[in-house]
Structure 1
Amino acid sequence: MTRVPRWLLRHRITVEPYLGTSAYGKQYGPAVADVPALVAETVKTVRNAEGREVISTAQIIAEPDLACPAESRITLPDGRRTTAISVAHHTAPGLPVPASTEVMCE
């Protein structure tokens, strides 16, 4: 299986993976900086984990092994902080298309 070519991932983002909720609120893992990605800041309607329609203001394409569960905090290339709404891992075994991870952000 091929991976999305790194030379296409022109932007750099920072990801703080969501670990869950504790008595003190949401918990995040250590920030992973300089993650290669392709960021498109466009407004789209998407569905969140509960199935409700919400607005995504940024979409990210990254390498297939990106550790970024829904609700992770992400810092975009322009410095804006956002939250992952949904994460999709795209694979197509046997087809000549690259594997990637797509993240829809608030």
Structure 2
Amino acid sequence: MVNVPGWLLPHRITVEAYAGDSAYGPTYRAPVADVPAMVAATVRTVRDPEGREVTATAQVITASGLDCPAESRITLPDGRTTRALTVSAHTAPGLPVPQSVEVVCE
């Protein structure tokens, strides 16, 4: 399968993958900086992992293989830090279309 071409990912983001909760709150793995992405500032309603309706303010598309579970922290190109609400891997086995990861952010 083919990944999204790099020229379609003009933005750079930083991802701190959610590692779980501790007695002091959420914990994150080491930040991964300079991740190629396509960021769109779109406001829409989505469901979070618990099934609640929440308002999303950004959509991020990256190449496949991104380590970014829901609740991860993401720093967008404009410097805003947000939280991943949903993460979807898009694949099309056997078809000549690129695979990608879509992250919808709060």
Compute the TM-score of the two structures, normalised by the length of structure 1: 0.98
Matched, 1:7 2:14: no
Residue 89 of structure 2 aligns to which amino acid in structure 1? H
The 3-state SS of whatever aligns with 2:98 is coil
Letter in 2 for 1:29: R
CA distance in 1, matches of 2:95, 2:53: 31
Secondary structure of the 1:38 match is: strand
Q: Unaligned regions of 5+ residues in structure 2, if any?
A: none
Q: What is the match of residue 39 of structure 1?
A: 39
Partner AA of 1:16 in structure 2: E
Q: State the distance in 2 between where 1:97 and 1:52 align.
A: 32
Q: Which amino acid aligns with 1:28?
A: Y
Give the secondary structure class of the aligned counterpart of 2:3: coil
- Identity within the alignment, %: 68
Bigger strand share: 2
Secondary structure of the corresponding residue to residue 71 of structure 2? coil
Instruction: Report the equivalent of 1:94.
Output: 94
**Deviation at 1:6?**
1.0
Structure 1 vs Structure 2 CA RMSD: 0.6
What's the counterpart of residue 85 of structure 1?
85
**Aligned letter for 2:105?**
C
Specify the code of the residue in structure 1 equivalent to 2:17: P
Deviation at 1:56, TM superposition (A): 0.5
The letter for the 2-side match of 1:76 is L
TM-score, normalised to structure 2, is 0.98
> Could you say what secondary structure the match of 2:2 adopts?
coil
* Structure 2 CA distance for aligned equivalents of residues 25 and 78 of structure 1: 26
Q: d(CA) in 2 for partners of 1:53 and 1:21?
A: 22
Letter in 1 for 2:29: G
Give the deviation of 1:51 after TM superposition: 1.2
